[in-house]
Amino acid sequence: MNYKASAQFILSSIGGERNINSVTHCATRLRFVLNDESLVNEDALNESDDVIQAFSKSGQYQIIIGTEVPKVYNALTEITESSISDKDSNEDIQQNKGNLVSRFFNTVAAIFTPLLPALAGAGILRGILLLLAQIGWIDEESGTYVILSSTSMSIFYFLPIMLAFTSAKRFKVNPYIAAVIGASLIHPDLIKLLGDDGNGTTTSFMGIPVILMNYSSTVIPAILAIWAYSYLERFLEKYIWQNMQIILVPLISFVIIVPVTVTLFGPFGVYVGEWIANAINWMSESNGWLTGAIVGGVWNIFVVFGLQWAVNPIMISNVSTIGFDKIVPLTAAANFGMAGAVFAVLIKSRNKKMKSFSLSALLSIFLAGITEPAIYGVGMKLKRPFIGALIGGAVGGAYIGGMGVKSYAFVFGGLTTLPAFVGATFVYYIIGLAICFVAGAIATYLLGFNDASMDTSKVDNTRNFENNKDEKNKKHNRDSKQVIAKSPIKGDVISLSEIEDGVFSNKLLGDGVAIIPESNEVYAPISGEVVTVFPTKHAYGIRSYNGIELLVHLGIDTVELNGEHFESLVTQGQHVNQGDKIATFDIEKIKPNYKVVTPVIVTNSNEFDIKSINLHNKVNKDKGIIDAQKKPNK
């Protein structure tokens, strides 16, 4: 297949790039969310040799390609003007799903994530300047200091503009109009009205009293303003003649949203932000030791569930309004508690792969303050190190909180961000991090962990086929004309024709059988190489040593779960033996919304004679389901 040509053909057949709202792919198909499905030339797609089938289903336009879909997808992203990523596509598809709390966290994350590099860079620059000024290497009255200082503080001063822009991206409205709304809140003429009295000064707008506030460095007012603007823009575009929208939509939006913001959203946002900041600062002042232990101990749990996005705006607001924050050091305590736990695994583990991964995860924390590799790849996998990390974060966090450590920028706690903490409490911060690291390491070392827990479900890539290093046996397996595929799941065997999905029932992807599962555990049906592990963890491709290619597809349309309720135990390129556990999935949680029937497909069926075994019988991982005989070469 010429992937670029296929991608170009598909793009033109679905109405061009402008018709694409989002696109992602699963094990076999491209999944589009289109703006107008009437523009699709479905007949042309279905007549193409590169397309197995094209159809609309469940709000998506699906194009079945087969196992080469990732290459077609990559080619599609290369020829489009704007890069289309799985992450963005999944956000587009999922943004209105889930409960109110998860949608809130997703929204906050989407608004603040694009700003994190700028916030971190500006914060570290500010910390370096403070350090240089304290040791006398730079004069605070010099032009050099003023230029660099204004650079480091500009993102905080102009935060309403930045947040208006990213909020517009999230709420899918014009970001440039949104930026003007944000800029209007910090215009010099508006600030001048404050006079010497500051926040609380009153003026009027068309006879309506307005309490003036200083909106520079604020967080909530701009976000609320653009949230309201998103509804107004969609309303106006619905009723205003299209040729006049370019003038009237921004005009009416400015006239309505800015006054409403300074009258209602602005004061509300400023006061709420101040109340939250004052409450947290009161907790820190009242009992910093207890506050530090709690935040330092639970922060990594927050990261696991994505709850940190509810707290990050508070830290950013504190830094931008009062000049410092006391929560940032406590999040760093959690980071170094995790670092200590990972270090204990690094020195105690006997598994070479875990040692290597632990080292890279440790460097990720030290150099970037990023803990996700350590949390998911070490802590959650081996379990007890995660507990050790929580203990380390709580112990060191108590000291950091008790000593009132301050951060003068919003940063992720690592060694490279130390300048952000330079000040009167800097020494206490360093001591606190050392306590976190040592306590986390000792707790993990004493709690112990089981390396075997990682290996029982995975097979080392260096292990030879079927635990046999005899190359003659390996050659025999490659030359064998027959493969008996065993069931990957305990359950009942049914024919593909019984599946209520035309792609599988019509054998468009290949011949095989399906399993109605009774167990959450998934095993390798054949010995060979794992050639495909999809990011959503719902589909696995394995190639045997004599060339048969088997696809295990866990459920129907389960790609939409985006990996939720699935756990992968293998990686692409790994060699497995028949019967090795490769995945688990929570059937009971998937069943209410998706069919859990699992097709097992020989994707290169044209090269084999396929015979179903044990049809309509109960099977387990030791029972055969497919007898594949290699066809003779012509």
**Catalytic positions, please?**
26, 553
Q: Tokens for 218?
A: 């604020």
Say how far apart CA 555 and CA 36 lie, in whole Å. 29
Pairing of strands 20-25, 29-34: antiparallel
Whether 94 and 562 have beta carbons less than 8 Å apart is answered as yes
CA distance 104 to 93: 16
Q: Is 54 helix (H, G, I), strand (E, B) or coil?
A: strand
Q: Work out the angle at residue 531's Cα, subtended by the Cα atoms of residues 516 and 566, and round it to the nearest 5 degrees.
A: 45
Would you say 444 and 384 are in contact if contact means Cβ atoms under 8 Å apart? yes
Helix axes of 143-157 and 159-171: crossing angle, nearest 10 degrees = 40
**Which residue shows structure tokens 């990390």?**
389
Which residue type is seen at 243? N
Strand-strand pairing, 511-517 and 491-495: antiparallel
Find all residues with CB under 8 Å of 553, minimum gap 6, and list them: 27, 28, 504, 538, 539, 598, 599, 600, 601
CA-to-CA separations, 304 to 114, 372, 396, 565, in angstroms, rounded:
20, 8, 20, 15
Cα–Cα distance for residue pair 230/237, rounded to 1 Å:
11
459 touches 574 (CB < 8 A): yes
Q: Find out whether 613 and 627 touch, Cβ atoms under 8 Å.
A: yes
Q: How far, in Å, CA of 89 to CA of 343, rounded? A: 36
* Number of C-beta neighbours around residue 405 at 10 A: 31
